[in-house]
């Protein structure tokens, strides 16, 4: 491994953060404003992609910005796990921008300038988390993300979005300031550094009981990972416009939480230390509870976006489960699941938004027979649902297969059972939507739309969701591009 | 030349005070211009002095060339020079905003305001470099008496608040004076380095302890350290905006700085922290100060009053940090003096802007302000982030050192208080942000942009940007300025 000074990580973060300024300035010229968003998205993706060969060659582009605290600079460094996440985030940002433009304009939403400006800052912060070289830098971008997404959650400016926004921020800020910050300081007090180091920095630094406490505080502190009982912000965030739910609350924000937890598990504690402390051994069971409970709650949700949100809560814990199993196959599977879940979940939310734009329907019970008028949308939904369930040949199969193998390697037969039973639960809450969509009888009252007539959402919505669903399949058929990053994480 | 440059920085506001009072009687707009001009000079000169002190070392200056210990000595060490910059820059920003807010709230009395304010600023700048214990008393009284007047110029309950402050402030000054009196009887000297050299050889432990306790209590009243803070909230709330912008960032912070001076340069750290029980008691008091003041802040519905309680909590941060008795905590406390001055400055400037445009600063007056005053509210939001302690704003970094110092010292009640106070700050500020974001002001359907005038807005914006810049350079501030100046190292 070789550190290599490079301005590129900073450029990737800044291009999106600073894009907020021209976006705000071109308030009165929507076309120009949207051009800035797309320009930022494309250039960020190109900058990130240009670092891929370097990272695959085993080098790490690094840039140190400010030495704010002795031994803990604000520093960006790109390693393979960060690269995997940043690639996905910046690629989906382009698609989501196109989708956002279609969605916001079709619904003639208000305050679009604020929306696009907050979005640009949020993506910059997401990539910042992916590229953070130490816990302090990560915490900085993590908080920036919480704060920049608040205007998006509160977008509607009505009573519901007000209370949801309050819930969103109080859980996210409360946990990060109340748990993550003190735990981070304890880490610094014990280890004298916060650098992400493969194998961890806490080995032998503190008694096991204290380490267990710090582990709990750090997992709970990064509540964006959706672990129960700190998951309440995610369903609350569903009042936001659907592009926000799809990308930010399906991919960026929640993955930032999981990514932060993975950094803590792999690079602050390290697999050896985790294996040695009680809480490390208990962690797989702890997140398993979230997997099962979230799936059961999802079954009972009729609001499509809320059902998807609970599905996200469960799927996030898969990723943490994979890594907390500590066996190489499971860790790889867990990290691989970042990619599988990202493309599948973003597709599902895109479909929910497309359905809302085309037919103004939010509830699953209203969607019977809708698949006949929106065949492409429901087709894409079906593919993505397969990936969520983990059926071959979709992306979800690859990661779930690796995790199942990992559970067997680690001799954890209970976890093996959890994975299998949650697969059944996933199927139970996804398959009926697709089945009823295509074969269900439309509700008699109200709907005057002739069932055979095709009425899809605009192309700006349809094209992105087709692309992401196809990628979900492609990853399942050829997983090696993402796998090489996931496999490089463990030495 | 550079040896006595700092004298010019201190004297400029005093020299400007007289013409401001006389000339502005006939032509009022002059008052603000002359005052700002004098303070620009002070701010620039102080910055030059700071650079000079960092390069060439501490300046020791005897007024009128009377030899120490008979003459008055001024010592500009790196920390003193840093405080000179903090005081002069904050004062410049505050006085700039006063150009408009004073004529809005005290029409016809602007020249009186600027005269008193300039004298007060001279007092504050003198305080941070004075090495004469009795001079500090005199200068404390100069700043206090001018403050009484500045507060009483407000409307409504301001005179009563000022009267309260007169009584409490005078009690504080008496304690301080008695402490100096004891020391003078014991040592026969008023020069601080001189006294510091004599004290270790004295055989009167009870008398020295009494003087130390009196000095501490005197300064605690002056800085509003819980439970001696009773005068502070009303004084800051009912004072005219221009006064609170000037007082809030500077008075408490300079008093904390004086406490550090007295503890470590008049006495020694070993002496100050000799009794673990006393130290423990004060840290508990600091933790209590933070929690109680934060809960009072939670109960307010008026922005300035809420800020006043936040200031009381922040005083708890700093006193606690100093009394942790380790270098990390002291670093945090000194850094927090700078950061908190900046944060309170920005927040009171925002209050000033809102009062100028809306007329009052109850929470309900913030309705719809994100549309009406987007720039003010952006600065307000940054200030709120700094007070909550969101990186990379400066508030995060001083809190970092304070919490770390608490962990090192094993003072977990203090650490918990800091965390709780951050959370409370998040609640109180997001409550206002929510009102400003969601609610519409009654009777107004179309919200037009209406920002405060430039003399208020410009310092607000510059201050808000400084919150981030100072945060990003806190490594340099600690490494280059605070760490070398710490009186001892563990």
Helix/strand/coil (H, E, C) string of chain A?
CEEEECCHHHHHHHHHHHHHHHHHHCCCCHHHHHHHHHHHHHHHHHHHHHCHHHHHCCEEEEEEEEEEECCEEEEEECCHHHHHHHHHHHHHHHHHHHHHHHHHHHCCCCCHHHHHHHHHHHHHHHHHHHHECEHHHHHHHHHHHHHHHHHHHCCCCCHHHHHHHHHHHHHHHHHHHHHHHHHHHHHHHHHCCCECCCCCCCCCCCCHHHHHHHHHHHHHHCHHHCCCCCCCHHHHHHHCCHHHHHHHHHHHHHHHHHHHHHHHHHHHHCHHHHHHCHHHHHHHHHHHHHHHHHHHHHHCCCEHHHHHHHHHHHHHHHHHHHHHCCCHHHHHHHHHHHHHHHHHHHHHHHHHHHHHHHHCCCEHHHCCCHHHHCHHHHHHHHHHHHHHHCCCCCHHHHHHHHHHHHHHHCCCHHHHHHHHHHHHHHHHHHHHHHHHHHHCCCCCCCCCCCCCCCCCCCHHHHHHHHHHHHHHHHHHHCCHHHHHHHHHHCC
User: What are the φ and ψ backbone dihedral angles of B302, each rounded to 5 degrees?
Assistant: -120, 130
Strand segments (E) across B363-427: none
Q: Determine, yes or no, domain membership for B204.
A: no
From A340, A347, A349, select the one nearest A306 (Cα to Cα): A349
Confidence of residue B489 (pLDDT cuts 50, 70, 90): very low
Residue to test with chain A: of B387, B391, B406, most A Cβ within 10 A: B391
Q: What is the pLDDT of residues B322-339, one digit of tens each?
A: 999 888 899 999 999 999
Neighbours of B29 (CB within 10 A): 11
Residue A124 forms contact with B (CB below 8 Å): no
From A180, A167, A184, select the one nearest A233 (Cα to Cα): A167
Q: What is the pLDDT of residues A342-389, one digit of tens each?
A: 999 999 988 888 888 888 888 888 888 888 888 888 889 989 998 988
Q: Determine, yes or no, domain membership for B27.
A: no
Name the closest residue on chain A to residue B439, using Cα atoms.
A157
Does the beta-carbon distance from A154 to B437 stay under 8 Å? yes
Q: Determine, yes or no, domain membership for B23.
A: no
Of A66, A173, A185, the CB nearest to B403: A185
Average of per-residue pLDDT across B237-255: 91
Neighbours of A411 (CB within 10 A): 9
Per-residue pLDDT, A34:
86
How far apart (Å, rounded) are the C-alpha atoms in residues B177 and A432? 83
Minimal CA separation from A369 to chain B, in Å: 39
Question: Could you list the residue range(s) of the whole structural domain that residue B340 is in?
Answer: 273-490
Confidence of residue A444 (pLDDT cuts 50, 70, 90): low
- How many residues make up chain B in this entry? 490
- Indicate if the pLDDT at residue A447 is higher than 60: no
Q: What is the pLDDT of residues B157-187, one digit of tens each?
A: 889 999 999 999 999 999 999 999 999 999 9
Q: What is the pLDDT of residues A288-312, one digit of tens each?
A: 999 999 999 998 888 888 888 898 8
Does the beta-carbon distance from A139 to B426 stay under 8 Å? no
Q: What is the pLDDT of residues B125-159, one digit of tens each?
A: 999 999 889 999 999 999 999 999 999 998 888 89
Per-residue pLDDT, B490:
40
Per-residue pLDDT, B308:
93
Minimal CA separation from A158 to chain B, in Å: 7
Average of per-residue pLDDT across A444-456: 60
Q: What is the pLDDT of residues A39-96, one digit of tens each?
A: 999 999 999 999 998 888 888 888 988 888 888 889 999 988 899 999 999 998 888 8
**Cβ density class A431-469: b for 16+ within 10 Å, e for less:** eebbebbbebebeeeebeeeeeeeebbbebbbbbbbbbb
Compute the 3-state secondary structure of chain B and give helix, strand, coil in percent, each to the nearest 5: 80, 5, 15
Neighbours of A424 (CB within 10 A): 10
**Number of separate domains in chain A:** 1
**Cβ density class B431-450: b for 16+ within 10 Å, e for less:** bbbbbbbbbebeeeeeeeee
Out of A229-243, A369-383, A432-446, B184-198, pick the least confident: A432-446
> Structure tokens of B313?
């909590």
Q: Determine, yes or no, domain membership for B211.
A: no
Mean pLDDT of all residues belonging to chain B:
89
Percent of chain B with pLDDT over 90: 54
Q: Determine, yes or no, domain membership for B440.
A: yes
Q: Which residues on chain A are in Cβ contact (under 8 Å) with B367? A: none
Are A271 and A327 within 8 A, CB to CB?
A: no
Secondary structure class of B130 (helix, strand, coil):
strand
Name the closest residue on chain A to residue B423, using Cα atoms.
A174
Q: Which distant-in-sequence residues (6+ apart) come within 8 Å of B86 by Cβ?
A: B250, B253, B337, B338, B341
- Indicate if the pLDDT at residue A207 is higher than 50: yes
Residue with tokens 């940007």: B465
Are B345 and B245 within 8 A, CB to CB?
A: yes
Does the beta-carbon distance from B475 to A68 stay under 8 Å? yes
Minimal CA separation from B179 to chain A, in Å: 38
Q: What is the DSSP letter of B132?
A: B
- Indicate if the pLDDT at residue A436 is higher than 80: yes
Cα dihedral A101, A106, A111, A113, rounded to 10, equals: 20
Residue to test with chain A: of B390, B395, B440, most A Cβ within 10 A: B390
From B440, B301, B437, select the one nearest B370 (Cα to Cα): B437
Residue A115 forms contact with B (CB below 8 Å): no
Q: Which ipTM was obtained for this model?
A: 0.86
Residue to test with chain B: of A10, A147, A181, A186, most B Cβ within 10 A: A181
Residue B469 forms contact with A (CB below 8 Å): no
Q: What is the pLDDT of residues B12-24, one digit of tens each?
A: 999 999 888 888 7
Q: What is the pLDDT of residues B420-465, one digit of tens each?
A: 999 999 999 998 988 888 887 777 666 778 888 888 999 999 999 9
From A377, A378, A355, select the one nearest A438 (Cα to Cα): A378
Average of per-residue pLDDT across A253-259: 91
> Structure tokens of A72?
């803990």
Confidence of residue A451 (pLDDT cuts 50, 70, 90): low
Residue A485 forms contact with B (CB below 8 Å): no
Minimal CA separation from A185 to chain B, in Å: 6
Secondary structure class of B273 (helix, strand, coil):
coil
- How many residues make up chain A in this entry? 491
Per-residue pLDDT, A449:
52
Percent of chain A with pLDDT over 70: 97
Name the closest residue on chain A to residue B409, using Cα atoms.
A189
Does the beta-carbon distance from B423 to A177 stay under 8 Å? yes
Q: Determine, yes or no, domain membership for B163.
A: no
Residue with tokens 């502005």: B24
Per-residue pLDDT, B1:
54
Residue B390 forms contact with A (CB below 8 Å): yes
Q: What is the pLDDT of residues B200-214, one digit of tens each?
A: 888 888 999 999 999
Per-residue pLDDT, B165:
92
**Number of separate domains in chain B:** 1
Question: Could you list the residue range(s) of the whole structural domain that residue A133 is in?
Answer: 2-489
- Indicate if the pLDDT at residue B416 is higher than 80: yes
């Amino acid at each position: 491994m070789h550190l290599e000074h490079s301005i590129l990580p900073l450029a990737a973060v800044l291009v999106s953060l600073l894009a907020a300024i021209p976006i705000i300035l071109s308030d009165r010229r929507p076309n120009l404003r949207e051009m800035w968003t797309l320009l930022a998205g494309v250039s960020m993706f190109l900058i990130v992609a240009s670092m891929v060969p370097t990272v695959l060659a085993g080098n790490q582009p690094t840039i140190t910005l400010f030495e704010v605290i002795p031994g803990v600079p604000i520093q960006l460094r790109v390693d393979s796990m960060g690269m995997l996440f940043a690639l996905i985030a910046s690629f989906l940002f382009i698609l989501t921008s196109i989708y956002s433009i279609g969605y916001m304009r079709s619904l003639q939403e208000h305050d679009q300038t604020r929306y696009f400006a907050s979005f640009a800052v949020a993506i910059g912060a997401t990539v910042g988390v992916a590229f953070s070289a130490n816990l302090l830098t990560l915490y900085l971008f993590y908080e920036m993300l919480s704060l920049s997404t608040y205007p998006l959650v509160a977008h509607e400016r009505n009573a519901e979005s007000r209370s949801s926004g309050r819930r969103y921020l109080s859980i996210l800020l409360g946990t990060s300031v109340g748990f993550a910050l003190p735990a981070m300081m304890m880490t610094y007090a014990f280890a004298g550094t916060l650098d992400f180091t493969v194998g961890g920095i806490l080995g032998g630094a503190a008694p096991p009981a204290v380490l267990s406490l710090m582990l709990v505080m750090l997992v709970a502190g990064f509540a964006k990972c959706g672990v129960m009982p700190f998951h309440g912000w995610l369903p609350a965030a569903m009042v936001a416009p659907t592009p926000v739910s799809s990308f930010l609350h399906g991919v960026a924000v929640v993955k930032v939480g999981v990514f932060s937890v993975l950094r803590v598990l792999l690079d602050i504690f390290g697999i050896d230390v985790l294996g040695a402390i009680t809480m490390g051994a208990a962690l797989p069971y702890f997140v398993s509870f979230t997997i099962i409970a979230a799936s059961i709650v999802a079954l009972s949700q009729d609001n499509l976006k809320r059902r998807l949100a609970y599905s996200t809560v469960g799927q996030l814990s898969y990723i943490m489960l994979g890594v907390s199993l500590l066996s190489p196959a499971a860790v790889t599977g867990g990290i691989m699941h970042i990619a599988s879940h990202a493309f599948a979940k973003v597709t599902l939310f895109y479909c929910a938004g497309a359905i809302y734009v085309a037919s103004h329907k939010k509830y699953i019970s209203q969607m019977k027979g809708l698949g006949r008028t929106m065949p492409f949308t429901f087709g894409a939904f079906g593919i993505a649902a397969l990936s969520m369930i983990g059926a071959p040949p979709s992306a979800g199969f690859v990661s779930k297969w690796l995790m199942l193998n990992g559970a067997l390697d680690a001799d954890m037969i209970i976890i093996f059972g959890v994975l299998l039973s949650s697969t059944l639960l996933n199927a139970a809450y996804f398959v009926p939507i697709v089945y009823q969509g295509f074969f269900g009888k439309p509700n008699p009252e109200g709907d005057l739309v002739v069932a055979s007539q095709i009425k899809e959402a605009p192309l700006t919505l349809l094209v992105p969701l087709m692309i992401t669903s196809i990628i979900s399949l492609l990853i399942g058929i050829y997983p090696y591009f993402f796998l090489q990053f996931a496999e490089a994480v463990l030495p | 030349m550079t040896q006595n440059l700092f004298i010019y920085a201190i004297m400029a506001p005093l020299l400007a005070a007289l013409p401001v009072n006389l000339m502005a009687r006939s032509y009022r707009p002059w008052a603000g211009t002359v005052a700002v001009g004098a303070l620009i000079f002070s701010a620039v000169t102080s910055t030059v002095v700071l650079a000079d002190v960092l390069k060439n070392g501490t300046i020791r200056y005897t007024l009128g060339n009377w030899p120490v210990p008979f003459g008055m000595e001024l010592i500009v060490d790196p920390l003193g020079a840093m405080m000179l910059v903090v005081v002069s820059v904050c004062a410049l920003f505050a006085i700039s905003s006063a150009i408009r807010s004073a004529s809005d709230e005290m029409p016809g009395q602007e020249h009186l305001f600027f005269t008193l304010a300039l004298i007060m600023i001279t007092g504050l700048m003198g305080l941070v470099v004075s090495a004469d214990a009795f001079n500090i008393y005199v200068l404390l009284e100069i700043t206090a008496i001018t403050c009484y007047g500045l507060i009483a110029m407000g409307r409504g309950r301001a005179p009563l608040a000022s009267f309260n402050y007169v009584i409490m402030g005078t009690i504080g000054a008496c304690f301080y004076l008695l402490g100096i009196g004891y020391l003078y009887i014991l040592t026969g000297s008023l020069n601080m380095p001189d006294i510091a050299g004599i004290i270790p050889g004295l055989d009167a432990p009870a008398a020295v302890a009494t003087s130390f306790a009196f000095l501490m209590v005197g300064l605690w009243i002056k800085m509003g350290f819980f439970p001696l803070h009773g005068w502070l909230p009303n004084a800051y709330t009912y004072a005219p905006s221009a006064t609170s912008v000037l007082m809030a960032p500077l008075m408490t912070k300079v008093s904390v700085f004086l406490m550090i001076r007295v503890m470590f340069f008049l006495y020694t750290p070993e002496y100050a922290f000799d009794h673990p029980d006393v130290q423990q008691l004060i840290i508990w008091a600091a933790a209590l100060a933070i929690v109680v003041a934060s809960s009072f802040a939670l109960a307010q519905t008026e922005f300035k009053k809420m800020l006043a309680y936040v200031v009381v909590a922040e005083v708890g941060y700093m006193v606690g940090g100093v009394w942790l008795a380790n270098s990390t905590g002291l670093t945090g406390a000194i850094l927090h003096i700078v950061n908190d001055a900046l944060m309170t400055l920005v927040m009171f400037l925002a209050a000033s802007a809102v009062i100028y445009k809306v007329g009052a600063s109850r929470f309900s007056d913030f309705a719809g302000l994100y549309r009406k005053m987007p720039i003010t509210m952006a600065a307000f939001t940054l200030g709120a982030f700094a007070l909550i302690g969101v990186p990379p704003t400066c508030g995060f970094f001083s809190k970092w050192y304070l919490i770390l110092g608490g962990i090192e010292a094993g003072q977990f009640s203090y650490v918990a208080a800091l965390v709780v106070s951050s959370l409370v700050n998040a609640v109180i500020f997001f409550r206002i942000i929510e009102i400003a974001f969601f609610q519409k002001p009654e009777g107004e359907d179309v919200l037009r942009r209406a920002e405060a005038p430039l003399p208020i807005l410009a310092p607000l914006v510059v201050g808000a940007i400084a919150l981030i810049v100072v945060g990003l350079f806190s490594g340099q501030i600690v490494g280059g300025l605070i760490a070398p100046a710490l009186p001892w190292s563990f």
